[in-house]
């Protein structure tokens, strides 16, 4: 992993990519990787562009002694008119695959290219991808993918077959299905990400003024949540918390007569919206029990006024 701006290697040849491996913190952040153990279909993302079309099975090619190479790529099958593409003409394990014009084409999304395929038309002879609507007939067309590996060798990889588990119709022009695989990390994978500084949204901050609270309210003379006194007797420090504050604001606390009791300046990171008051006046005297009014002034954001009580 490199810092692209300064071209500095932050992590060099680190092999900790399995679940549970702890990658060290670098530049103030830590990567957590979730590496799957084997290829599998991502059922949630592998869907038609409309739920009307019959569902499908997607597996590695298998015919006799020939097993397909599980190519770690994503795919798209686009349905159009007959002639949009043509299947390959070949023989595999003594089985003849006749080349013919068909109403679909297959795209390797990972490599951004159209790929070759075999077409087993088990339902009809019109070149259209379909399945027999009679559940007992089990006549479904099959697409087998033909792809080249890094050495230029052609391999059979995956096969796509319609089924009747869901949907109400066969594919027609305009339909598209995308197929996504859960893939382990590969040596050719590259990931890029950009770190952004935290920012303050003025609009969200304005809307957040209504969430400002005083806790506890009412404040009781001895709150169980306050820190314990480290000495042998007496109570610990008194605390009232103003929460959900903007990052910068001024808090003024008034008694019921309108006299200013205390002024607090809050300036903190965006993630810290709490200011603690020690329940003392500006002159550091203990204040009386009763009702108090607070006013929060946040420049450029707005104001919030509320009340709280201090009781015995």
Tens-binned pLDDT, residue by residue, of the chain (312 aa): 566 566 777 777 777 777 777 888 887 788 887 888 889 999 999 999 999 999 999 999 988 788 899 999 999 999 999 999 999 998 887 788 899 999 999 999 999 999 999 999 999 899 999 999 876 666 899 999 999 888 888 899 999 999 999 999 999 999 999 999 999 887 777 888 887 777 777 788 888 899 999 999 999 866 555 555 555 454 557 889 999 999 899 999 999 999 999 999 998 876 678 999 999 999 999 888 999 999 999 998 999 999 999 997
Res 235: pLDDT = 53
Q: pLDDT tens digits, residue range 193-219?
A: 887 777 777 788 888 899 999 999 999
Q: Are strands 302-311 and 176-179 parallel, antiparallel or unpaired?
A: unpaired
Q: How far is CA 93 from CA 12, 90, 96, 120, 146, in A?
A: 47, 10, 8, 14, 15
Res 76: pLDDT = 98
Res 312: pLDDT = 76
Res 197: pLDDT = 74
Beta-carbon contacts of 233 under 8 Å, excluding residues fewer than 6 positions away, are: none
Res 205: pLDDT = 82
What global pTM score does this model have?
0.60
Euclidean distance between the first and the last CA atom of the chain, given in angstroms as a whole number: 60
Q: pLDDT tens digits, residue range 106-133?
A: 999 999 999 999 999 999 899 999 999 8
The full length of the chain comes to 312
Q: pLDDT tens digits, residue range 240-257?
A: 999 999 989 999 999 999
Res 73: pLDDT = 94
Res 108: pLDDT = 97
Name which of 303, 306, 302 is nearest 294 in CA terms.
Answer: 306
Res 262: pLDDT = 96
Q: Please calculate the CA angle 94-100-105 and round it to the nearest 5 degrees.
A: 105
Res 193: pLDDT = 80
Rg of the Cα atoms in the chain: 34
Domains of the chain: 40-182 (no CATH), 202-227+235-311 (2.60.40.1930)
């Amino acid at each position: 992993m490199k810092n692209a701006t300064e071209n500095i290697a932050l992590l060099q040849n680190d092999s900790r990519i399995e679940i549970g491996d702890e990658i060290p913190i670098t530049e103030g952040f830590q990567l957590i990787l979730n590496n799957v153990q084997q290829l599998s279909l991502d059922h949630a993302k592998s869907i038609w562009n409309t739920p009307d079309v019959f569902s499908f099975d997607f597996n590695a090619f298998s015919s006799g002694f020939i097993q397909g190479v599980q190519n770690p790529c994503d795919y798209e099958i686009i349905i159009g008119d007959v002639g949009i593409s043509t299947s390959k003409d070949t023989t595999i394990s003594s089985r003849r695959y006749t080349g013919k014009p068909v109403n679909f084409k297959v795209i390797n999304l990972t490599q951004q290219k159209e790929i070759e395929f075999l077409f087993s038309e088990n339902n009809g002879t019109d070149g259209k991808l379909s399945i027999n609507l009679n559940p007992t007939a089990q006549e479904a067309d099959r697409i087998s993918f033909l792809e080249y590996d890094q050495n230029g060798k052609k391999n059979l990889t995956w096969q796509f077959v319609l089924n009747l588990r869901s949907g109400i119709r066969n594919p027609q022009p305009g339909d598209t299905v995308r197929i996504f695989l859960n893939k382990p990390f590969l040596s050719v994978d590259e990931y890029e990400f950009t770190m952004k500084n935290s920012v303050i949204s003025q609009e969200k901050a304005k809307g957040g003024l209504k969430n400002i609270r005083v806790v506890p309210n009412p404040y009781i003379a001895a709150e169980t949540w306050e820190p314990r006194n480290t000495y042998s007797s007496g109570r610990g420090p008194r605390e009232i918390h103003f929460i959900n504050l903007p990052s910068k604001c001024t808090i003024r606390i008034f008694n019921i007569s309108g006299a200013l009791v205390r002024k607090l300046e809050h300036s903190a990171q965006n993630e810290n919206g709490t200011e603690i008051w020690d329940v003392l006046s500006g002159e550091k005297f203990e204040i009386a029990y009763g009702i108090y009014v607070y006013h929060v002034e946040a420049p450029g954001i707005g104001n919030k006024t509320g009340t709280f009580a201090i009781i015995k």
